Amino acid sequence: MTKKGRVFSGARPTGRQHLGNYLGAIRNYVALQADYDCVYCVVDLHALTTMETTRDLKNNTYEMALDWLAAGIDPQESIVFIQSQVRQINELFLIFSMVSPLGKLTDLPTFKEKVRQAPHNVNLGLVGYPVLMAADIALYKADLVPVGIDQAPHIEYTRETVRSFNYRYSTNVLVEPGMKVTEIPKVLGTDGQQKMSKSLNNHIELALTAEETQKVVMTMVTDPQRARRTDPGNPDVCNVFSLHKVFSSPEEVDTINTECRNAGIGCVDCKKLFARNLNAHLAPFREKRSALAEKPDYIWDVLHDGAQRAGTIAEQTMQEVRAAVGLPE
């Protein structure tokens, strides 16, 4: 079947994935395979921009790739690889640096946030983060990039970089990508307040056992106004209810919506039901994950094979780029 075009997406190697990664990214990665040629990349070079130690880099890469494959990314259909294993990325990054206005990069909200978070570690690579991302997307000539809304300025930056490059070198070899914003851009953590994130330790790991999942779910913060079981609750402000909408049946969602408001159901039972439905949803993933974890060599083979296939596309693009720039063959 002919596909509609090429998708590229990358994620930093953060190790075992959580519910936020799943709903915000992985689920879409899997769905897009039906219509697009997909290239999914573990962006380890991007990770270096903020990392103080690389001790866990390799293991985090492995665990993330394992989750991706267990969730249904098909390495026959799609290319799954590690960014640093395709060396052409470094070359395109450098060439893109020459068409990257520094003022624009330091103005990006994501850069300003990173500076606030770690003022002692503002390095050239960090300023160049969007340039490296633009190089990733352009190297594989992606038509479409699935992202969270917070990444929208980076995609816009990529489009501008591609336009600047094509204009400066009077060419049309590089492709301006489109953006597909995820339907669930922000899954809240177990605190019910902040975005689910490993660094905030408010996450629910996909690879937990059913029992472990239930334990974490029982710690989730619900409607803070509902102090006693007999108080009526407000599902509109409850993160558990938001997740019921994703993992429970429409009938269950309707019942909880009504029964929470009239104190017919308590938070404990509501969370137990959520844990049960979440565990049922994740059961096939966990089974596949356990099977894959038995053969770590297979995961590395998939990543090496992916790097070879990605490398072929990358070298083709770079030959066109070098010719456009006027670099000798």
Binding site for ligand ADP (CB under 6 A): 11-12, 14, 20-21, 23-25, 148, 185-187, 195-197
Structure tokens at 324: 């456009």
Question: Which residue type sits at 249?
Answer: S
Closer CB to ligand ADP, 153 or 185, in the complex: 185
Interatomic CA distance for residues 254 and 11, integer angstroms: 35
> How many CA within 13 A on the CB side of residue 295?
9
Closer CB to ligand ADP, 24 or 235, in the complex: 24
Q: Which SS3 state, helix, strand or coil, does residue 20 take?
A: helix
Residues contacting 56, CB < 8 A, separation 6+ = 15
Interatomic CA distance for residues 105 and 138, integer angstroms: 18
What minimum distance in Å lies between the beta carbon of 266 and ligand ADP? 26
Closer CB to ligand ADP, 11 or 310, in the complex: 11
What minimum distance in Å lies between the beta carbon of 113 and ligand ADP? 12
Nearest residue relative to ligand ADP (C-beta) = 24
What minimum distance in Å lies between the beta carbon of 18 and ligand ADP? 7
Closer CB to ligand ADP, 92 or 206, in the complex: 206
What minimum distance in Å lies between the beta carbon of 28 and ligand ADP? 9
314: nearest Cα among 33, 41, 35, 124: 41
Closer CB to ligand ADP, 39 or 324, in the complex: 39
Question: Which residue type sits at 121?
Answer: N
158: nearest Cα among 148, 144, 169, 168: 144
Interatomic CA distance for residues 327 and 95, integer angstroms: 11
What minimum distance in Å lies between the beta carbon of 189 and ligand ADP? 7
Closer CB to ligand ADP, 199 or 230, in the complex: 199
Closer CB to ligand ADP, 52 or 297, in the complex: 52
What minimum distance in Å lies between the beta carbon of 263 and ligand ADP? 30
Structure tokens at 292: 């894959």
Interatomic CA distance for residues 198 and 47, integer angstroms: 15
187: nearest Cα among 115, 117, 253, 247: 247
C-alpha to C-alpha distances, 114 to 137, 269, 289, 329, nearest whole angstrom: 22, 40, 33, 39
What minimum distance in Å lies between the beta carbon of 287 and ligand ADP? 23
What minimum distance in Å lies between the beta carbon of 195 and ligand ADP? 4
Closer CB to ligand ADP, 233 or 306, in the complex: 306
